[in-house]
Amino acid sequence: MNLSNLGYGLVLLGLLCAAFAAIVGITTGMMRKESALPLVQKAIYGFAASMLGANLVMVYALLSHDFSVKYVAQVGSLSTPTIFTIVSLWSALEGSILFWGAIMGAYIFAFAWTYRKEHGRYMQLSLGVMAAVATFFAFLIAGPANPWTHIANPLADGPGPNPLLQNHVLMIIHPPMLYLGYVGMTIPFGIAAGALLRGELGDAWLVPLRKWTLVPWIFLSVGIILGSWWAYAVLGWGGYWAWDPVENASFMPWLTATAFMHSTMVLEKKKSLKLWTIALALASFILTIVGTFMTRSGVFNSVHSFTQSDIGPTFLVFIGVLLVFSTLLLAVRGHMLVAESQLGSIVSREGSILLNNLVFAAITFVVLLGTLYPLITEGLLHKKITVGEPYFNQMALPLSLATLFLMGVGPMLPWGVADPKVIQRQAIIPGAVGLLVAGVCFAFGFRGWMPLTVFGLSGFVVVVTLRELFLPAQQRMTEQKEKMFTAIFVSASRARRRFGGYVVHLGIVAIMVAVAASSAYKIHNTGTLKLGESMKIGEYSVRFDGLDRGKEPHREWIAAKLTLTSPGGEETVHHGSSAPRMNFYERSNDPIGSPSVTEMIVRDVYVSLLSYDVKANTASFNMWIFPMVGWIWYAIPLLVLGTLIALWPQRKQKPVPATAPVAEVVPGAP
């Protein structure tokens, strides 16, 4: 039996299991026959196992260079280093969808297993909906994007994976992170759709909904940031974010999921915004599918669309089905999710969260509109237009400032109705610190209303956030005489989500400051240097020490050796792998540059090689200094830490005494 047949067989098995779980789960769920649950669970486990198996077979085929498997013939090469051979599992369309299937299997398995004995009233429906999504992907792998086709007379070697993907170690982690974010949104979609199909949304079902949105959210966050880091470190144009359609595609579900995370607090506290929150969960998932469609169908050309094929129409149909299904569900079942209480005034915690949701919805709308507008004008009016970075920047800037402002104001406000005097008292210190920060920055020569507003607001937000984080601990220290660390630990573990959320806020503030500083105060220089010549970039100086060339199994490269002199006169030599290079891959005609990036806490010095002349011994460079840009990626640990704190499982509650009424069963829901 050859690997093609084995792999394809496993995919078919997965397809069968998923389809079975979907049909049985949804039908028995609708009929409320909870006895069928074990059957659905077993089918889910079967799907997960066969998808995992199929992926292992593909990895084995790649590692053993079995060029009779179509996908291996497409991306494999004897000269590719082993690590990139494994990575090539997701370096082209078919493989990435297969990998997608494995992640889907892992997620659904984890979800089904975690709650195998809980939430019986929703479980079949939710698992059924998730399995329906899984069925779609298994169908893609089995049909339109089949990587397993057997090649009767295979060649002895293949072309190797896309060179862009072999250029940097970040390419090994960035795509899986994004996939984990994208695929994971299937779970909250299933949970929300299950609740809608059932026609009720109890408090108990909210807990998994929240947690299982947070999991893909953090992967999406990390994936997006790593992607921007990769673009910055590899593409050589000195930027990290270009509002490219594919970047936008990953940003939109992040925005709606973030909005969800906030509106869910109003839902819990005020039993209001149910419909909106559920709609956000549905939208986050649909946007991931829209995003996948954008990346994979080739309607947009971008650096990321290295995996194009004709699966576009299949995806369009799926998106259509999802939209109709979700809209119908919301329309038919929506009235069952009515608010149980009135919201307070706009100057309150819930008011600020409503505004936060509006701002996030508006950013999502801007990104969606800007991304789709060129398609619409071209399709309907045959007029080609561009919606580029300047548009998105202008629209996103005021909205981002609004989120920053709300991040400071929201936590200060109480639920319900606020007492203006209390708010005034609370706002004095953070407000003063904010003004002070902006003033000090101005005194040190920083100009421009945008960065100064960001710095000032950030100071304000940081003070508010730190106060919220540590005030409870301080109370414990004074009243309980606890030591500082004990007090922080105990107060944090008493309110994990709150504590974790504020830690994440600090990370977001760091990112905003970094974006503002690096875009407002960057310094650029470009020019051609002869051997031994130097040029200035800000207070730094760069000397060209000659060309260097080398050969690796999968590429050849030319590097320009540099010596960087800091303002203090300290010299750093960039001769080896840290010199800016051009890499030549056999597969592509244009070279792929790797810039030389000297990362420091307060600034990066970024040099990229534009062209060179061996005879004249000259080289042309593009150089930048980016203040604080690294803080965008340094914020990742804060985001992860905050999320982990929020997700950390609460110790199981002590069993309820037998006399307490059992609250779970509420029969007769319409």
Partner 1 sequence: MIALVLSLVLAQGYAPLRQGQDPLDSVREQRVQAVGKKLRCAVCQGVSIADSPASMARAQLDKVRELVAEGKNDQEIFDYFVERYGEWALMEPKKSGITLGLWLAPVLVLVLGVLLIISSTKKPAAPVAAATEEPADDYLAKVRADLEK
User: Where in 326-345 is the site for partner 1 (CB under 8 A)?
Assistant: 342-345
Q: Quote the least distance from Cβ 422 to partner 1, whole Å.
A: 5
Task: Give Cα 109 distance to the centre of its chain.
Answer: 22
Q: How many CB atoms lie within 10 A of CB 427?
A: 16
| One-letter identity of residue 391 | Y
Q: Is 410 in the site for partner 1 (CB under 8 A)?
A: no
Beta carbon nearer to partner 1, 146 or 491: 491
Choose one: 12-20, 162-170, 383-391, 629-637; the region binding partner 1 (CB under 8 A). 383-391
CB 593 within 8 A of CB 580: yes
Q: Quote the least distance from Cβ 281 to partner 1, whole Å.
A: 19
The b-or-e profile of 211-242 (16+ CB within 10 A means b, else e) is bbbbbbbbbbbbbbbbbbbbbbbbbbebbbbb
Choose one: 139-147, 222-230, 238-246, 627-635; the region binding partner 1 (CB under 8 A). 238-246
Q: Token pair for residue 370?
A: 């800007």
Beta carbon nearer to partner 1, 33 or 549: 549
Choose one: 130-138, 288-296, 561-569, 578-586; the region binding partner 1 (CB under 8 A). 578-586
Q: Is 318 in the site for partner 1 (CB under 8 A)?
A: no
CA-nearest of 146, 159, 196, 198 to 78 is 159
| Residues constituting the chain | 670
Q: Is 358 in the site for partner 1 (CB under 8 A)?
A: yes
Q: Is 420 in the site for partner 1 (CB under 8 A)?
A: yes
Beta carbon nearer to partner 1, 351 or 459: 351
Q: Quote the least distance from Cβ 250 to partner 1, whole Å.
A: 14
Q: Quote the least distance from Cβ 112 to partner 1, whole Å.
A: 34
Q: Is 650 in the site for partner 1 (CB under 8 A)?
A: no
Q: Is 641 in the site for partner 1 (CB under 8 A)?
A: no
Report how far residue 140's alpha carbon sits from residue 220's, in angstroms, rounded to the nearest whole number.
23
The b-or-e profile of 274-312 (16+ CB within 10 A means b, else e) is bbbbbbbbbbbbbbbbbbbbbbbbbbbebebbbbbeebb
Beta carbon nearer to partner 1, 42 or 496: 496
Q: Is 366 in the site for partner 1 (CB under 8 A)?
A: yes
Residue among 306, 365, 405, 634 that touches partner 1 (CB under 8 A): 365
Interaction residues for partner 1, span 138-157 (CB under 8 A)? none
Q: How many CB atoms lie within 10 A of CB 437?
A: 19
Q: How many CB atoms lie within 10 A of CB 541?
A: 16
Residue among 4, 166, 263, 622 that touches partner 1 (CB under 8 A): 622
Report how far residue 168's alpha carbon sits from residue 163's, in angstroms, rounded to the nearest whole number.
10
Residue among 78, 317, 422, 436 that touches partner 1 (CB under 8 A): 422
Beta carbon nearer to partner 1, 17 or 359: 359
Beta carbon nearer to partner 1, 32 or 425: 425
Beta carbon nearer to partner 1, 50 or 277: 277
Choose one: 291-299, 310-318, 454-462, 579-587; the region binding partner 1 (CB under 8 A). 579-587
CB 96 within 8 A of CB 42: no
Question: Which residues on adjacent β-strands are paired with residue 24?
Answer: none
CB 216 within 8 A of CB 281: no
Q: Quote the least distance from Cβ 529 to partner 1, whole Å.
A: 11
What 3-state DSSP class applies to 592? strand
Q: Is 114 in the site for partner 1 (CB under 8 A)?
A: no
Residue among 5, 301, 327, 572 that touches partner 1 (CB under 8 A): 301
Residue among 13, 57, 134, 354 that touches partner 1 (CB under 8 A): 354
Residue among 2, 526, 577, 650 that touches partner 1 (CB under 8 A): 526
Interaction residues for partner 1, span 533-572 (CB under 8 A)? 549, 556, 558
Report how far residue 596's alpha carbon sits from residue 607's, in angstroms, rounded to the nearest whole number.
5
Q: Token pair for residue 648?
A: 């950390």
Q: Which long-range contacts (CB under 8 A, 24 or more apart) does 538-546 make?
A: 538/625, 539/566, 539/567, 540/564, 540/565, 540/566, 540/567, 540/605, 540/625, 541/565, 542/607, 542/621, 542/623, 544/618, 544/619, 544/621, 545/573, 545/575, 546/617
| One-letter identity of residue 206 | L
Residue among 14, 430, 501, 591 that touches partner 1 (CB under 8 A): 591
CA-nearest of 500, 479, 477 to 487 is 477
Interaction residues for partner 1, span 455-514 (CB under 8 A)? 471-472, 475-476, 479-480, 491, 494-495, 498
Question: Which residues on adjacent β-strands are paired with residue 547?
Answer: 560
Tell me the Ramachandran region of residue 617: left when phi exceeds 0, alpha when psi lies from -120 to 50, beta otherwise: left
Site size toward partner 1, by CB under 8 A: 90
Letters for 14-53 (x = contact with partner 1 by CB under 8 A, - = none) are ----------------------------------------
Q: Is 161 in the site for partner 1 (CB under 8 A)?
A: no
Beta carbon nearer to partner 1, 371 or 458: 371
Interaction residues for partner 1, span 69-98 (CB under 8 A)? none
Q: Is 252 in the site for partner 1 (CB under 8 A)?
A: no
Q: Quote the least distance from Cβ 548 to partner 1, whole Å.
A: 12
Radius of gyration of the chain, Cα coordinates, nearest whole angstrom: 27
Beta carbon nearer to partner 1, 9 or 374: 374
Report how far residue 94's alpha carbon sits from residue 97's, in angstroms, rounded to the nearest whole number.
5
Q: How many CB atoms lie within 10 A of CB 162?
A: 18
